[in-house]
Chains A and B, each alone.
Chain A
Amino acid sequence: MPATRSSTSSSDSDHYAGLISQITSGDGHDAMEELLMDAQALAYRFSLLVCGHPQDAEDAMQDALLQTYKHARRIRQPKGFRTWLYRTVKNACLMSRRRHVHEPLKLGSLDEDGAPDVATAAPNPEEQTTAAAERERFRGAFRTLPPPYRLVAFLRDVEGLSTREVAQVVGITEANVKQRLHRARQMLREALA
């Protein structure tokens, strides 16, 4: 799944289910490659937006990669893969944070890894600068959310998981997800104002 796709919850689930079916059928080299790239992209977004520690992203991506690789070939329920992936990435990011907890915080620009991907690059330098500034502003506002709210807003509004899926990933009730989500949107709105 490309990181830029703003898809619905069900289409993402179908996408993952399709990849898993190809992998378990024994002819899924390309599907596995795509799945492993997706897992790493998710770990990267999670590290930056939820944990707020770019320096943890490498470890989290590596963990997500290995665990996805092991799990994908023996999964029995492709439909459940999506929530498994998000739970795994969440845990990988938290473990990575624990390993780095005593390291000094490096909060550089999240775009410092280079120019935007060609597929998503704005047409001219001025627009690229504007887009980068918008991303930084958004991330700054997102990081002001208390962690439990940030996590729910990330899963629901950034990643497009359903309320039920968010509840499964976070381990709280659906009612609690809704409550946190509405509060997170309100806080985010205020932080962006």
Chain B
Amino acid sequence: MTRRAAGPHCPVGLEHWSRFTDRDLPPDECLRCEEHLKTCAECRARVRAVKDTIGLCRRVARQALPPRVKAKARTRVKALLAEDS
């Protein structure tokens, strides 16, 4: 994407778009941002950057336990529950 200078109406900065992505802006500000995104490729890229980072966190970091770790965890649970019964 060709980078261009932020326009006078660009709410620049990842923090702003981070809040937008989290729906953490007042409704009128959200609407203003949505309108702005229709015409500003630079800001669309900023929003995409925030969403990509969050998506990566969810996709990559929340993987299943490795099989050996999971097996040990299951053994501990079974032992604890057997003790109690």
Which positions in A face B, CB cutoff 8 Å? 2-6, 29, 32-33, 36-37, 40-41, 44-45, 49, 57-58, 61-62, 65-66, 69, 111, 113-120, 134-135, 138-139, 142, 153-154, 157-160, 163, 178, 181-183, 185-186, 188-189, 192
> Does A182 lie within 8 Å of B15, measured CB to CB?
yes
CA distance A114 to B65 in the complex (A): 10
Residues of chain B within 8 A (CB-CB) of A116 are 63-64, 66
> Does A120 lie within 8 Å of B64, measured CB to CB?
yes
Closest to B74 in A: A37
Q: A40-B76, A178-B24, A192-B53 are in contact. Are A117 and B70 (CB under 8 A)?
A: yes
> Does A113 lie within 8 Å of B67, measured CB to CB?
yes
CA distance A181 to B56 in the complex (A): 15
Interface residues on B, range: 20 to 34
Which positions in B face A, CB cutoff 8 Å? 14-15, 18-19, 22, 24, 49-50, 53-54, 56-70, 72-74, 76-78, 80-81
> Does A182 lie within 8 Å of B63, measured CB to CB?
no
Interface of chain A: mostly helix, strand, loop or mixed: helix
CA distance A138 to B25 in the complex (A): 29
Contact of B19 among A118, A142, A158, A182 (CB under 8 A): A182
Residues of chain B within 8 A (CB-CB) of A183 are 15
Residues of chain A within 8 A (CB-CB) of B15 are 182-183, 186
CA distance A29 to B78 in the complex (A): 10
CB<8 Å pairs between A and B, sample of 14: A3-B63, A3-B65, A29-B81, A33-B81, A113-B66, A114-B66, A117-B64, A117-B70, A118-B67, A138-B60, A178-B19, A189-B14, A189-B53, A192-B53
> Does B18 lie within 8 Å of A185, measured CB to CB?
yes
Residues of chain A within 8 A (CB-CB) of B62 are 3-6, 45, 158-159
